[in-house]
Structure 1
Amino acid sequence: MVPGGIGEEDITTIVLPYIHSAREGVELLGQYLEKYGTYEHNGIAFSDIDEIWWLETIGGHHWIAKRVPDDAYVTNPNQLGIQEFRFDDPDNYMAASDLADWVAQYHLNLSLDGTLNARDAFGSHTDKDHHYNTPRAWYIQKKLTPTMVQDPMSDDIPWSNKPARKITIEDVNDVLSSHYQDTPYDPYGKQGDEQTRKTFRPIGINRNGHLSILQIRPNVPAEIAGVQWLAYSSQPFNTMVPFYTNVGTTPAAFANTTAAVTTDSFYWTNRIIAALASPVFDETVALFEDYTESTMAAGHLLLNTTDAAVIAGVDDVQSVLATANQQIADAVVAETRQLLADVLFTASNLMANHFSRND
């Protein structure tokens, strides 16, 4: 095999402009992988109004993909995650054309009953996984399916699971912002001790750059169905902002992040807030709860009113959507600047060199 092939940075460019459905995306990327190969492992989600598919690059020229059940969610941290895999069900499974023969030739099927567990065959089960990957899947499923009893270091946490109820945007934000609250593993918590609180990599970690929740809504016209909820910086200290995707521009505060640290950038404002708040988490956590609730409610209100206007009839849909995006951006930027002021005030009063003649 010649070193090289395609990687993460190539996939959107060579696939997205040329497909019309999630299934087509899997098929096209699969063709590229078989022809050109890849130099890394990747997991790629393809979604449309009807289906979600998850494709995993095993390495070299081999790949697998599985359709996400309609009544389930997937938790897939930084490791190959698909478990059960079948070659006789093309409606729900796809793979490289020679994968079955390749698995047989090199005795890669490790199951005792003949069924293929792709995670066992192609994935990892390392100490790193047990501290960096599997605990994140464990906690998300603990939140979304509370009846599940699992070990955070288990190699058998389900790839997909059924939630206890329908999942909201707020639920997705909550689990992706989480740091093992109400467990001994919470770095900001009171349970456990200094060792347990540093045992696992949090989901909402300090170096988060951004988070996107990509929503395709089936109950509105196609021209307004796509919404991208966007957050910047460390997840426990930010909020999700909804933007219509059928537009040609993005509000400047969200689009123009440079290396220069400035509060003109929404990203840098959020990064400053997180760094200030983390050392005084208990004193500032209520500020973030109020901020997230207020801003996301404003986002839902804007979507509802804009949806109604478009459905009633407008001359230029993209212009209306761009205006709505700018409105929510301006509103959230204003609230975020107030949050910065509140967090700065709190953190300043708790500096180690504080002193009062009344002390």
Structure 2
Amino acid sequence: MTEPNYSACTSMLVGKNATVDGSTLIGRNEDAKAAWPKRFVVHEHQVATDRVVFQSTANGFQLELPAEAAKYTATPEWTDSEGLFEEEGINEHGVAMSATESTYANDSVLGCDPLVKDGIGEEAMVTVVLPYVKSAREGVKRLGEIVSTKGASETNGILFSDAQEVWYFEIGSGHQWVAQRIPDDCYAVIANQMAIEKVDFNDQVNFQWSQGLEQFVTNNHLNPDRHGFNFRHIFGTRTQMDTYYNTPRVWYGQKMVNPEIEQEPTSQDLPFLRKSSRLLSATDVQMLLSSHYQGTEFDPVGTGSEFDKHRFRPISFAKTQESHVLQLQADLPVEIGGIHWLSMGVGAESTFVPFFAGISETPSAYQYPVGHDYDPQSAYWNFKLVGILADAHYHRFIDQVNDVQAELRQGYRQIINQTQSQVATSNDLVALANQASNQAAKLALSRFQALATQLITDSADLSPLNYHQDLNL
């Protein structure tokens, strides 16, 4: 088997009883290229009068779409030449979706059910699913029907949530898939491996699966276990790349939430589901997505040996294009109870800005760029610039970056508290969402622009061509 070209994401899902405020949380890093700008847009509710057919610019995948499409947020690429890659969003019905967590199936499975060249792939999933579902469970069902009938061009993991339920969906081969509801008191961290373990085919409340999945596995003699049906064991891989590229990220994510549990970073048997030792917030998920093995010898900017510092692939790294946490709170209207937290660029050096789900538009800076190269009008490049400047003198500048991040988190909390306190008296939640989201975005951009100015100024005397004269000579 030829090892795939790994350049992929890290995800976290949290059930409502595992959070401090009863929210559901799903989050993911979109990792692909170090300089590949993203935009942030709102697609308004639409009712088409003519037949609507989606056709992928990536692989030719086609699908006829329903006439009515709900409003939803999304983060498409700067170009659609390789596909839309809308990646994540929240729709007007309070459904959140994040696609995808790239995973890898073993040769035996793919030999029996190959991937479909023009089947659905990552770049199309949000676009053809999120506008057409009214619950997380419906999202699983719709995507499952597409994979079963049209086939999949990739094996992927997809995150769904609403204010009550969180689901994780895994494509195991060209047409086979399974989805599991995350228990309300649990969380999961996934890093480019098949993650779902035991599947209970007698429990249709907490599991969904492709028709004939059990028979497919039985007929093709694919189950390596003597007992049970472990999706990860049957469909996944256990390669050396898993050991060093994938499992350490799951290990560190679980270590952050459950530091009392002793595990090895290279273990191939880390559990899919965990109960956290404390209640989690959106900030906790953001911190995980921004992490790079801090406090361990594996931190690439830490004090470990050169071998250890580069032994494992970190969660937050240079190829992160954007990170997001999608938060849904049941005791508030969707317009304000849903928050699309969005960090452009590398999470460790950027900031997660809160955008309320009710917004009808995004700031102009987030709708740039129209090209690939650096553009000071682009939100993506404003946040990316600070990371590039900090990287040049990391240990000298990172504290300044961290201070601004902390300041902004406090500012966002004030904006959120003020906004949610106005819900009962507001007669226009969309206007309220727009005003608060623009306030948060303006605050973030202004602080990062000021930070970039300071870092440039402070860098002026740090050239390797500098010369310090001994005045005693």
TM-score (ref. length: structure 2):
0.73
Partner of 1:284: 397
Structure 1 unmatched runs, 5+: none
**Given residue 188 of structure 1, which amino acid in structure 2 is its aligned partner?**
V
Work out whether residues 292 and 300 of structure 2, in 8 Å CA contact, stay in contact via their aligned partners in 1: yes
* Superposed displacement of residue 332, structure 1: 1.2
Work out whether residues 53 and 65 of structure 1, in 8 Å CA contact, stay in contact via their aligned partners in 2: yes
**Given residue 315 of structure 1, which amino acid in structure 2 is its aligned partner?**
N
* Superposed displacement of residue 270, structure 1: 1.8
Partner of 1:230: 342
Work out whether residues 382 and 445 of structure 2, in 8 Å CA contact, stay in contact via their aligned partners in 1: no
Partner of 2:82: none
Between structures 1 and 2, the one with greater helix share: 1
* Superposed displacement of residue 222, structure 1: 2.9
Work out whether residues 148 and 175 of structure 2, in 8 Å CA contact, stay in contact via their aligned partners in 1: yes
Of the three residues 372, 375, 383, the one matched with 1:262 is: 375
Query: In the TM superposition, what are the counterparts of 1:32-51 in structure 2 within 5 Å?
Result: 32-51=146-165
Work out whether residues 283 and 346 of structure 1, in 8 Å CA contact, stay in contact via their aligned partners in 2: no
Question: Cα deviations across residues 127-150 of structure 1 (Å, max 9, x unaligned)?
Answer: 111121111111111111111211
CA distance in 2 between partners of 1:45 and 1:126 (Å): 24
* Superposed displacement of residue 178, structure 1: 1.0
Question: Cα deviations across residues 252-307 of structure 1 (Å, max 9, x unaligned)?
Answer: 12221242413322211222211221232211121122111111111111111111
Change (3 A) 1:3 1:238: closer
Question: Cα deviations across residues 13-44 of structure 1 (Å, max 9, x unaligned)?
Answer: 22222211111111121112111111210101
Of the three residues 128, 143, 149, the one matched with 2:241 is: 128
Partner of 1:153: 266
Change (3 A) 1:338 1:40: same
CA distance in 2 between partners of 1:117 and 1:347 (Å): 53
Partner of 1:331: 443
Work out whether residues 346 and 384 of structure 2, in 8 Å CA contact, stay in contact via their aligned partners in 1: yes
* Superposed displacement of residue 331, structure 1: 1.2
SS in 2 for 1:330: helix
**Given residue 160 of structure 2, which amino acid in structure 1 is its aligned partner?**
F
Partner of 2:184: 70
Matching of residue 247 in structure 1 with residue 393 in structure 2? no
Partner of 1:189: 302
Number of equivalenced pairs: 356
Work out whether residues 238 and 268 of structure 2, in 8 Å CA contact, stay in contact via their aligned partners in 1: yes
Range with greater deviation from structure 2 (154-163 or 219-228) = 219-228
Question: Cα deviations across residues 89-142 of structure 1 (Å, max 9, x unaligned)?
Answer: 111111111001111111222223x11111111011111111211111111111
Range with greater deviation from structure 2 (101-110 or 348-357) = 348-357
Work out whether residues 110 and 116 of structure 1, in 8 Å CA contact, stay in contact via their aligned partners in 2: no
CA distance in 1 between partners of 2:175 and 2:470 (Å): 71
* Superposed displacement of residue 316, structure 1: 2.1
Partner of 2:232: 119
CA distance in 2 between partners of 1:117 and 1:78 (Å): 17
CA distance in 1 between partners of 2:228 and 2:461 (Å): 61
SS in 2 for 1:84: coil
Question: Cα deviations across residues 235-264 of structure 1 (Å, max 9, x unaligned)?
Answer: 211111101121210011222124241332
Range with greater deviation from structure 2 (2-11 or 323-332) = 2-11
SS in 2 for 1:264: coil
* Superposed displacement of residue 221, structure 1: 2.4
Range with greater deviation from structure 2 (175-184 or 9-18) = 9-18
Work out whether residues 335 and 433 of structure 2, in 8 Å CA contact, stay in contact via their aligned partners in 1: no
Percent identity of the aligned residues? Answer: 34
Of the three residues 306, 317, 333, the one matched with 2:429 is: 317
Work out whether residues 226 and 245 of structure 1, in 8 Å CA contact, stay in contact via their aligned partners in 2: yes
CA distance in 1 between partners of 2:319 and 2:334 (Å): 35
* Superposed displacement of residue 3, structure 1: 4.1
* Superposed displacement of residue 64, structure 1: 0.5
The higher-RCO structure (CA 8 Å, 6+ apart) is 2
Work out whether residues 257 and 277 of structure 2, in 8 Å CA contact, stay in contact via their aligned partners in 1: yes
Partner of 1:295: 408
CA distance in 1 between partners of 2:200 and 2:221 (Å): 16
Partner of 1:347: 459
SS in 1 for 2:324: strand
Partner of 1:168: 281
CA distance in 2 between partners of 1:330 and 1:31 (Å): 41
Work out whether residues 38 and 60 of structure 1, in 8 Å CA contact, stay in contact via their aligned partners in 2: yes
* Superposed displacement of residue 47, structure 1: 0.5
CA distance in 2 between partners of 1:161 and 1:346 (Å): 44
Change (3 A) 1:347 1:124: farther
